[in-house]
Amino acid sequence: MDDMTREPRTYRQAGPAADQEPHEVLDALRLPTTGQVFSLALPRFTGMPLFGAHPPFQVSMYRTPAGLRGDGVEPWGPTNEVNLQYMAEVVSGTAHSGAHVDALAHMTIGDDDHWYDGANAREHLGDRGPTVGDGSKLPPFIRRGILLDVPGFLGLDALDSHQSVDAEQLQQVAQAEGVTIRAGDIVLIRTGYLGAWPDPEKMARHTTAGPDISAAAWLLDQGVVAVGSDTETFEVQPAPDPGSPANPQPVHTLLLIENGIYLFECIYLEELARHKVYEFLFVALPLKIAGTTGSMLDPVAIV
């Protein structure tokens, strides 16, 4: 079969998290015993702290009662003796604002700018965003969640800026908490960064701590389908071992690009840590928006 008649390649649009069997969903739903719900997201607001390269998050009013009257707009026609009006807004910002999940098309590598399963910018990126592995392909996350509270294990409020967490340390934390990571789990790693939210100066003392490449490899070996943390980068920055050729984000490369393991970032873990909740039902439902490279979330932990 020559190139002119070859069937077009089919790309994997989602990672292993999408391969969840019904009985696995039911197993996860059986985890809670008290019904207590913990929110794992902080409120978003105009001018909120964000990763430096991202566009600002803004909420702007588009329609108000006064504006409707001033523009002479009558949404329901002239019959409106009770002065019924409405308000509507425009929300502007990246999908990576606040608690969010990275879609498979978020990170690229190589001369061809490829992402998971070989999709690439030349073939699969249009003016309206990626067409393969974009935010519209994100699966729902209804899974057993595990919290690994690293500063809690160390007797600290938060890790220092750029502090690395390796595989051995994660194993020690899991053992101390009495949890075992299983295939299909979602593991959330606390650094304490969001304990200083939203004070930029205090947050700067704890920025970009996180797992190194050894920790990522260990999590991958355990069979996780997603991992996350309370930072904006998940992995420690700068990378303590960028390798050769140098890769500034080897953890993103190993997990997201090479294996389709989803990354959650800016997940609020302070309440879980205070209550020493280390195992829970994790629920996060992404917004299916075509062309996005991730999704803002309002995830919860239920125990």
Q: What is the pLDDT along the chain (303 residues), one digit of tens a residue?
A: 455 556 778 999 999 999 999 999 999 999 999 999 999 999 999 999 999 889 999 999 999 999 999 999 999 999 999 999 999 999 999 999 999 999 999 999 999 999 999 999 999 999 999 999 999 999 999 999 999 999 999 999 999 999 999 999 999 999 999 999 999 999 999 999 999 999 999 999 999 999 999 999 999 999 999 999 999 999 999 999 999 999 999 999 999 999 999 999 999 999 999 999 999 999 999 999 999 999 999 999 999
What homologous superfamily is domain 16-42+95-302 in, according to CATH?
Answer: Putative cyclase (3.50.30.50)
Question: Cα-atom radius of gyration of the chain, to the nearest Å?
Answer: 21
Q: What does the chain look like in DSSP terms, one character per residue?
A: --TTTPPPPPPP-S-GGG---HHHHHHHHT--SS--EEE--PPP-TT----TTSPPPEEEEEE-HHHHHHHT--TT-S--TT-----EEEEES-TTSSSEEE-TTS--BTTTTB-GGG-BHHHHEETTEESSS-GGGPPPEEEEEEEEEHHHHHT-SSPPTT-EE-HHHHHHHHHHHT----TT-EEEEE-SGGGGTT-HHHHGGGTT-EE-HHHHHHHHHTT-SEEEESSSSSS-SS-S--TTTT-S-HHHIIIIIHH--EEEES---HHHHHTT--EEEEEE-----TT-SEEE---EEE-
Token output for 201 = 């100066």
* Tokens coding 117: 């399963």
What pTM was estimated for this model as a whole?
A: 0.95
Q: Show me where the domains of the chain are located.
A: 16-42+95-302, 58-92
- pLDDT for residue 4: 56
- Is residue 218 within 8 Å of residue 179, measured between CB atoms? no
Report the length, in residues, of the chain. Answer: 303
pLDDT for residue 9: 85
How far is the CA of 287 from the CAs of 13, 185, 226, in angstroms? 16, 21, 17
Q: DSSP of 222-274, one letter per residue?
A: TT-SEEEESSSSSS-SS-S--TTTT-S-HHHIIIIIHH--EEEES---HHHHH
Q: Look up tokens 């019959």; give the residue.
A: 79
pLDDT in the model for residue 2: 54
294-296 vs 100-102, strand pairing mode? antiparallel
- The predicted pLDDT at position 30 comes to 98
What is the C-alpha separation between 150 and 274, in angstroms, rounded?
13
